[in-house]
Amino acid sequence: MGLLVVATFVAVAGIGTKRTAPGGDEGDGRYEAIVETLGEIARTPVVWAVSFVGITVLVGGSILLGVGSFGIPEGLAGTLVNVAYLAVGLLLVGFVFLGAYFATRSRGLGNAHGVAAGTLATGAAFLVLVTVQLVVGVIG
């Protein structure tokens, strides 16, 4: 929950730039240049393909090294499996948060509404996971 609070604070802090009235003269500042550059990078299909392959190799490699008998010490093998679990968990949390965020933004609401919706969706998914764990015992 602490990481979620920090991530929410960082997301909201980046939003609080100088705003102008609609139709006003908007200057090209450093923030706009960074957002535009990151937007161009994110819209490039090669970046998505390379990211997918990299994440797949990271998760698959850590699982293979963790469960295979490659002469890796037992403590390191368990750590590699935990790294894979962490990577998959972060991907799922990112999917839930960003899905709610962009769904809210695409409906014309502001950044703060998107962050709030993402935070609520992530919190609700976490509560469902805790409930299922308590009732059924899914994890470990």
Cβ contact 118:101 at 8 Å: yes
Range of the domain at 121: 26-136
Tell whether 9 is covered by a domain.
no
Tell whether 1 is covered by a domain.
no
Tell whether 11 is covered by a domain.
no
- Residue 100, both tokens: 């709610």
What is residue 104's predicted lDDT score, i.e. its pLDDT? Answer: 92
Tell whether 13 is covered by a domain.
no
Residues 6+ apart with CB under 8 A from 139: 133
**HSE-CB of 14 using CA atoms within 13 angstroms:** 12
Tell whether 2 is covered by a domain.
no
**HSE-CB of 3 using CA atoms within 13 angstroms:** 4
One pLDDT digit (tens) per residue for the chain, 140 residues: 777 777 777 777 666 555 555 555 555 578 888 888 888 888 888 988 998 899 899 888 888 888 887 888 888 888 888 888 888 889 999 999 999 999 998 898 888 999 999 999 999 999 998 998 899 987 76
- Residue 72, both tokens: 């890796």
Tell whether 62 is covered by a domain.
yes
In this structure, how many other beta carbons lie within 10 angstroms of the beta carbon of residue 98? 14
| DSSP type of residue 69 | -
Cβ neighbourhood burial of 63 (10 Å; 0-12, 13-18, 19+)? middle
Report the number of distinct structural domains present in the chain: 1
Tell whether 59 is covered by a domain.
yes
Tell whether 110 is covered by a domain.
yes
Question: What's the pTM value of the predicted model, to 2 decimals?
Answer: 0.61
